[in-house]
Amino acid sequence: MGGFAPAASTFAGPVDSLFNLVLVITGVAFVLVEALLVYFLIRYRRKDGTKAAFFSGNRKLEMTWTIFTGLMLFGLAIYQYNTWVLTKVFLPNPSESLTVGVSANQFEWQATYPGTDGVLDTEDDLQAPINVLHFPVGKPVIIRLTSEDVIHSFFIPALRVKQDALPGRHINVWFEATQPGEYELACAELCGLGHYRMRGQVTLEQQAEFDAWLADVAARSQ
């Protein structure tokens, strides 16, 4: 359902089925409410000789739909808990993952990769070209996200990853890519006049190709 972007990460499935579930629930509620509205508009329209009645509310009815909606939302909150934990709370073991620094600024993305020592924040670090991001498939990736100026949002639809980037904070985001290909990174937070052009090119590729690309970045920065 839903015309999604291609699914290219391990948790795309659970995220999409949650989306579909919420869409069905809200879709049914929408159709019911609108149909009732139209029915009442016609059924109780103004008629000559009929005086309008005044009601100050109906406590029983209001209690019913408040409690019913509340229970439904509470049920959804419990139902989505595992997916939330998987996508937002859980972090893969850093020693088995690739950690990449991503910094947002008006209006571009700068990715920093660990050099041969495999750790960030050393002299070995490699700066990728502006707005270019490469990740290997089949390996967990941890993005250490920050911003240099205002609030931006790191959004890669194909990976089902979206996270605000805040100045002065490092926020970890993780994913494991499954489908090689070219995808889009978009800023999903209105961050200034150039917001519309704040996009990055994401390449998901096999580990060997990724290693070759990183070696190329290293060679160019010498």
State which residue, 104 or 158, has the beta carbon closest to Cu ion. Answer: 104
What is the largest distance, in Å, between two alpha-carbon atoms of the chain?
90
φ, ψ at 104 (rounded to 5°): -100, 140
Task: State yes or no: residue 191 binds Cu ion (CB under 5 A).
Answer: yes
205 forms bridges with which residues in the sheet? 136
Least distance between Cu ion and beta carbon 149 (Å): 9
Dihedral sign, Cα of residue 31, residue 37, residue 40, residue 45: negative
Least distance between Cu ion and beta carbon 18 (Å): 26
State which residue, 30 or 196, has the beta carbon closest to Cu ion. Answer: 196
φ, ψ at 128 (rounded to 5°): -75, 160
State which residue, 189 or 205, has the beta carbon closest to Cu ion. Answer: 189
Least distance between Cu ion and beta carbon 152 (Å): 3
Q: Which stretch binds Cu ion (CB under 5 A): 1-9, 25-33, 114-122, 183-191?
A: 183-191
Q: Tell me the three state secondary structure of residue 77.
A: helix
Least distance between Cu ion and beta carbon 194 (Å): 8
Q: Binder to Cu ion among 152, 156, 183, 202 (CB under 5 A)?
A: 152
Task: State yes or no: residue 187 binds Cu ion (CB under 5 A).
Answer: yes
Least distance between Cu ion and beta carbon 198 (Å): 4
Least distance between Cu ion and beta carbon 171 (Å): 15
| Number of residues binding to Cu ion, judged by CB under 5 A | 4
Could you give the count of Cα atoms lying within 13 Å of 8 in the half-sphere of its Cβ?
21
Task: Please give the DSSP secondary-structure letter assigned to residue 96.
Answer: G
Task: State yes or no: residue 141 binds Cu ion (CB under 5 A).
Answer: no
Task: State yes or no: residue 198 binds Cu ion (CB under 5 A).
Answer: yes
Q: What is the rounded distance in angstroms from the CA atom of residue 120 to the CA atom of residue 19?
A: 35
State which residue, 152 or 160, has the beta carbon closest to Cu ion. Answer: 152
Name the helix (H) or strand (E) containing 171: strand 171-176
State which residue, 98 or 128, has the beta carbon closest to Cu ion. Answer: 128
SS (H, E, C) 38-72: HHHHHHCCCCCCCCCCCCCCCHHHHHHHHHHHHHH
Provide the binding-site residues for Cu ion, judged by CB under 5 A: 152, 187, 191, 198
